[in-house]
Structure 1
Amino acid sequence: MSTSKKIISVILGALILFIWSMVSWMALPFHGNTLTQIPEGTVDLQKMQNDMPEDGVYHYPGMPADDSPETMAAMEEKLNKGPRIALMVYKSGATKLMDPMQFVLGFVINLLTVIGLFYIVSKLADKSIKSILTTVIVIGLIVGFASDFAMLNWWMFPMDFTITNVFDYLVSFSLVGLLFGSYSFKNA
C-alpha cells in the first residue's frame, strides 16, 4: 500500500469518527436523553468557587484519607443518607461553549485512534471486509467494557449513558472498518 493511501485512509477515518461524534451528540437524541442538568439554584456557585479552588474531578462523599473504623462508619452513614455524586468535573474559571480548540483536540484524538485501528488491521492475515469489521467491532467492545462498563460498575454511571457511549464506539469503529475494507485494504 502506498504511503499516500495510508495517509488518506487515516485522515478519512479520523473524519468519520469526528463526524459520527458530532452527529451522535448534536443531531441524535441519545446522549442528550442520558444527561440531566442540575436545576438552577441547586448549587451555591459562589460557595463552590470558594471551597473548591482547584480544577479537577470531584466525588462526594469521597474516600477518607483515614480508614479507621470510626471514619469508615461515618462514610457509610453518609452513603446511606445520600446523595452520592460519583464524578463531577469542576472548572473554576470561565470556559467557552464549542471552543475551537476542543474540536482540534477532538480531531487529534480521533486521528490517534484511527492510527491504532489502522495498525491493528494492517497486521491481520485476512483483510476481508468481514475480518476487518469483526476486528474493529471487537476493539470497540473492548474499549466499551474497559472504560464505560467499568465506570458503570465503579462510579455508578447509568446504564443508558453507558450503552449510548458503547454504541458510539461500535458505530464509529464499524464505519472506519468499512472504509478500511472497501478502500484502504481492498485487494490486499
Structure 2
Amino acid sequence: MRAILGALAGAVVLFVWGFVFWVQLAWTLDGLRALEPAQEEAIVATLQANIPETGVYYFPGMPTHGKDLSDEEGKRRTEEWTARHEAGPLGTIVFNAQGRSVQDPVVFIRGFLINLIATILVSIVVIMAGAGGAGFGKRWMIVLIFGLGASVTTHLVQWNWMYVPTDNVIMACIDTVVGWALAGLAIAAIIRTPKARTK
C-alpha cells in the first residue's frame, strides 16, 4: 500500500510542479521564445504550403536517404548537403497539421498517467533499496539520481545531436531535476520498510 501511495504522491508532485514551472517560471528563463504575430503568420503559411502532413521534419534534409542513386550522384548530393549543413541554418520542426484544444482534458490526464508510470518505476527501486536498510536520505537520492539520469539521456542528448540551444536545455533540465527532487521527498517519506524505519 505504501508503494502505491508513494507513487501516487510522487506523480501528483510532478504534475503540480510541471504546472507551476511551465505556467509561472519557464517564461522567465528565455529558453522558449514566442514568434511575433507577423512572423507567425508568415511562417505558418509557408509550413502549410510545403509540409504535407503531421510529422517531425529536419533541414537540411539528407538527399540520399531512401533513394537509389549512382555513386556519382550520391556523392554530388552529399557534398551539396554538407555545404548547406555547414552554412546553416539547421532546424527540426515538430509539425501538427490540425489544431488542438488549449485545455484538452485528455492531455492533462495523459500527462498525469505518464508521471505515474515513471514514479511507479522509480518506487520499485526505492522499495528494493529500503529492503536493504536505506534511510530517508538514500531513498531520496535514488529518486534524484533518476531525475538526473533522465535529463542526461534526453535533454543533453538533444543538445548534442539535435543542436537544441543551451538555454532551452538548461530550462528543461531544471524542470526535470527539480521536479524529481521534490517528488523524491514524497516518495522517500512514504515508502519505508521495517529496516529503513529503524534508521
* Matched residue type, 1:111: L
**Identity across the alignment (%):** 25
Residue 190 of structure 2 is aligned to residue 187 of structure 1:
no
Give the number of the structure with larger relative contact order, counting CA–CA contacts within 8 Å between residues 6 or more apart.
2
The alignment status of 1:13 with 2:10, answered yes or no, reads: yes
Q: How does 1:131-170 map to 2 (within 5 A)?
A: 131-170=138-177
TM-score (norm 1): 0.87
Q: What is residue 105 of structure 1 aligned with on the other side?
A: 110
Which structure has the larger Rg over C-alpha atoms?
A: 2
How far, CA to CA, are the matches of 2:29 and 2:102 in structure 1?
A: 16
Which SS does the other structure have where 2:101 is aligned?
coil
Gaps of 5+ in 1: none
> CA, structure 1 residues 122+150, in 2 after alignment: closer, same or farther (shift >3 Å)?
same
- The CA distance in 1 between the partners of 2:160 and 2:43, in whole Å, is 30
2:55 aligned with 1:56: yes
Q: CA deviation at 1:47?
A: 4.2
The alignment's TM-score, normalised by the length of structure 2, stands at 0.83
1:88 counterpart = 2:88: no
| Aligned counterpart for 1:69 among listed residues 67, 75, 78 | 75
Any stretches of 5+ residues in structure 2 without a counterpart? none
Report the residue type matching 1:52 in the other structure: I
Distance change in 2, residues 1:164/1:44 (3 Å): closer
Over residues 21-42 of structure 1, what are the superposed CA-to-partner deviations in whole Å (9 max), with x where a residue is unaligned?
0111111145762012234344
- Secondary structure of the 2:133 match is coil
Give 1:22's aligned amino acid: F
